[in-house]
Structure 1
Amino acid sequence: MTELAALEDPRARAANERHGDDHGVNLGKLRAVAKRLKTQQDLARGLWETDDTAARLLALLICRPRAFERDELDGMLRQARAPKVHDWLVNYVVKKNPHAEEVRVTWTADPDPVVASAGWALTTERVAKRPEGLDLPGLLDVIEAELKDAPDRLQWAMNHCLAQIGIEHAEHRARALAIGERLEVLKDYPTPRGCTSPFAPAWINEMVRRRGEQPEQT
């Protein structure tokens, strides 16, 4: 904790706080600390319990993802309110854990939109890599009904799922595009030059084009 405190940088804190993250440690320097420490599950648990954002990020880099039990993951997610901690927990730990599918189903239906967003992130992973057994038309039904009015973080996760369905599954592409066009979620999102817009129809057609497929007309 003393070492993390010494890495505090006001400029890094200002940049992080613009994204809702309450810490001032440069992530490159944080990763260098993690590389030196290597995997230490007990230390990771101790760092998590400090409730300090930088310490929790370090914990997620040095933990053993498969070592967490289902209830432990659930508790950690509900404590992870900083966006970067939430994202790293889902992507670096939960996706590699044997309980990932179980918590995906539970979290997607959770009334807490931040928890639900984690469920949708895991669903998007399955849409792309292991779609067998998923009800893709049913997912599109839910997205069509709930995306427009969803809170920001949940809306972003559901929109990503919509785009992934359209990108990966040609048989559902026309409907995914139509939903995106009708709802217009993130249509005016400021996108830097050279980056792909998060507006689902633009995102879908750009990724399809890069694969050499024929984009749909919208």
Structure 2
Amino acid sequence: MAELAELEDPKTREVNEKHGDDHGVNLGKLRALAKRLKTQQELACQLWETGDTAARLLALLICRPKAFKRDELDVMLREARAPKVQDWLVNYVVKKSPHAEELRLAWSADPDPVVASAGWALTAECVRKKSENLDLSGLLDIIETEMKNAPDRLQWAMNHCLAQIGIEHPEYRSRAIDIGERLEVLKDYPTSPGCTSPFAPIWITEMVRRQQR
């Protein structure tokens, strides 16, 4: 914790807080610290229990994803209110867990939009890697009905899922693009030069173009 405190930078914190992340540690330096520590499950659990955002991010880098029980991961997600902590928990830990599918189903239907966004993030991953058990048409129905008025983080996750369906499944591509065009979610999102817009029709078209090179 003392070492993390030394890495704290006020300018980094100022930038992070604009995105809802209450820490001031450069992520490159955090990853370097994690690389030095290597995997330490017990230490990871202790760091998580501090409640400190930077400590929790470090914990997610040095933990053993398959060591967590299903209910532990559920509690961790509900505690992880900082967007970056939630994002890393889902991507670095839950996706590697044997409980990922069970949690995906439970979280997607959760009334808490932050929890539901984690479920949709896992669903987007399934669309990309193992979609055989997914009802893609049904997912598009939900997105078409609910995405426009969903809270920001849930909307972002649903939009990601929409784009993945359009990118990975040609039979649903035109419908995915049509939904994106009609709902106009993230249409005006500021995008840096050289980056792909998160607006689904542009995102889908660009990724398909790259695949066909």
Pairwise TM-score range, normalised by the shorter structure: over 0.9
Number of the residue aligned with 1:130: 130
Structure 1 counterpart of 2:9: 9
Moved over 6 A (4+): none
Distance in 2 between residues matched to 1:190 and 1:7, nearest whole Å: 30
Give the TM-score taking structure 2 as reference length: 0.99
The equivalent residue for 2:117 is: 117
Q: How many residues align?
A: 213
What TM-score comes out, normalization by structure 1 length? Answer: 0.96
Instruction: Name the CA distance, whole Å, in 2 between partners of 1:21 and 1:197.
Output: 23
Quick one: distance in 2 between partners of 1:133 and 1:13? 42
Post-superposition offset of 1:103:
0.2
Matched, 1:63 2:60: no
* Identical-residue share of aligned pairs (%): 79
Per the alignment, residue 182 of structure 1 pairs with 182
Q: Give CA-to-partner distance per residue, 1:149-172, whole Å, 9 cap, x none.
A: 000000000000000000000000
Correspondence list, 1:68-147, <5 A = 68-147=68-147
Partner Cα distance (2:31, 2:146) in 1: 37
Shift of 1:114: 0.4
Unaligned stretches of 5+ residues in structure 1: 214-218
* Residues 49-85 of structure 1: per-residue CA shift (max 9 Å, x gap): 0000000000000000000000000000000000110
Tell me the amino acid that sits aligned with residue 187 of structure 1. Answer: K
Match of 1:39 in 2: 39
Deviation at residue 194 of structure 1 after TM alignment: 1.2
Q: Which runs of 5+ in 2 are unaligned?
A: none
RMSD: 0.8
